[in-house]
A and B are shown apart, each in its own frame.
Chain A
Amino acid sequence: MINTREIMETIKMIDDEHLDIRTITMGISLLDCIDSSAEKACEKIYEKITRLAKDLVKTGEDISRQYGIPIINKRISVTPISIIAGASDADNYVMFAQTLDRAAKATGVNFIGGFSALVQKGFTQGDRILIDSIPEALAKTERVCSSVAVGSTKAGINMDAVKLMGQIIKKTADMTAEEDSFGCAKLVVFSNAVEDNPFMAGAFHGVGEGDCVINVGVSGPGVVKAALSKVKGADFGTVAETIKKTAFKITRMGQLVAQEASRRLNVPFGIVDLSLAPTPEVGDSVAYILEEMGLERCGTHGTTAALALLNDAVKKGGVMASSYVGGLSGAFIPVSEDAGMIAAAECGTLTLDKLEAMTCVCSVGLDMIAVPGDTTAETISAIIADESAIGMINQKTTAVRIIPVIGKNVGESVEFGGLLGYAPIMPVHKESSAEFINRGGRIPAPIHSLKN
């Protein structure tokens, strides 16, 4: 029998250290919903999602109760809508977003991802219509998340798309200005987008995936921090070992829940995403892990090295704990969703430039960052271009989820509520990048993309 100490350790992780399963995400292919009539396509989409995901939320709740492990979110990701809607006669895809929103509400999931386009090398007509529909779609729906891939190591960076996304983000901010530009919190711009990511807002169901699949995202920054607090002053070898062991345990939970959900829903198990995803609750912060390693404040010199060690050790520990690892897997650094990041940004230690450096070694990118509402579209595009370049050159996923909060400026803060937290408005450089962004065209793929 498992001994009492081990049982108490697990219970403590759940009760005191915020161990949870962050999300069970059902990926659903909509390729068989394509129709030349947009109305018919929407009908098929609604029918398929509500049929396949009807028991998703209940199953998640049952597993949570039986195993005594919180499962925070139940979500759905679908095939990028630009591919599905592109075959239709519609010249605006807002109705597709509204269909997804209705399906999300009917099934009880809190977010549905996949109002997406993959344009890293070029636009189809469907891609253009989808991107143009994003601001209105995000303003008129509650639970729909959108993402656009603008670059990859293989394709380079589509700078026309980068320019366009700066404008789209600004427009989305304007159209949701009454809710502190909340629409932008549901919009991600990717380089090297992954097809099996269970985390929002960037989840979509890739075209290489099966018809329906269960992906699970774990979490547990608080558990890692608690483990590190027991090895104060020890060398980095010990730090890495401690993180690895903890990540292993966390991931085993994810693997168990993923297999159980897959069995009960009779849907194949896809992957476990090993990410450390923070929440605004105190004690559930990635920044606090970095500070536990010996930094007075996240964002100071040494932060990038600390994050690099953390990110790598999480993967090494987690990879043996799960039969299939995928998604984004690493440490997330969303500013508004992490109490330690919020505090570090508020006191000015954590800046946009430092965050950019950190994205070179963490799992994703500039995430949930609030900037002044008068930030120009070109500046936002330039931030996206920088981030995409980091992803392209380092063969990793990077993303930008940035919120120009209309009517707010540096010194103020914005409250998104719930898991999305709150964020101080962070300053951006005032010098113009407009001439650079207005060049257009593509940045060619880097030399190391030529591997064949």
Chain B
Amino acid sequence: MKAVVSVMGIDRTGIIAKVSGCLFNHGVNILDINQTIMQNIFTMVMLVEFKDDSAEYNTVMNELDGIGKEIGVDIRMQHEDIFNSMHRI
């Protein structure tokens, strides 16, 4: 299954390293990555792929929550279908 990881917050070093490190540790593949600064806010969007729909998803989500709190950015992971259904007919 695919999910979208989005990161928003004040830019600082190591954001991508922390997030991608967490994904790597759980064998989650990064399919696409896009990073911009929107209105002075660091914004990164990743499309990632899980090997299966296992409990790994929740584990990764919890770890990303922890990383977000640690480095002071807003990290969320959402099933890609929410965006597909809203923006594609």
Q: Which residues of A contact B (CB under 8 A)?
A: 1-2, 4, 6-11, 65-69, 249, 252-253, 255-256
Contacts and interface: CB of A to CB of B under 8 A. Distances in A.
Interface stretch (B11-19, B21-29, B31-39): B31-39
B79 interface: yes
A67 B76 CA distance: 10
Contacts of A1: 31-32, 47
A68 B87 CA distance: 16
Interface of B: 4, 6, 8, 31-32, 34, 36, 38, 43, 45, 47, 57-58, 61, 76-88
Interface of A, secondary structure class, is helix
Contacts of B81: 67, 256
Contacts of B76: 11, 68
Nearest to A249: B86
Contact of B43 (A4, A69, A253, A255): A4
B82 A10 contact: yes
A7 B83 contact: yes
A269 to B, nearest CB: 14
29 contacts: A1-B32, A2-B4, A2-B83, A4-B45, A6-B87, A7-B45, A7-B83, A8-B38, A9-B87, A10-B83, A11-B6, A11-B8, A65-B58, A65-B61, A66-B57, A66-B79, A67-B78, A67-B79, A68-B76, A68-B77, A69-B78, A249-B87, A252-B85, A252-B86, A253-B82, A253-B85, A253-B86, A256-B81, A256-B85
A7 B43 CA distance: 11
A69 B36 CA distance: 24
A9 B82 CA distance: 12
A142 B79 CA distance: 36
A148 B36 CA distance: 56
A4 B79 CA distance: 15
A68 B32 contact: no
A336 to B, nearest CB: 31
Which 4 interchain pairs have the tightest Cβ spacing? A68-B78, A2-B83, A256-B85, A6-B87
Contacts of A69: 78, 82
Contacts of B77: 68
B4 A7 contact: yes
A408 B4 CA distance: 52
B76 to A, nearest CB: 6
A6 B86 CA distance: 9
A443 to B, nearest CB: 45
Contacts of B6: 7-8, 11
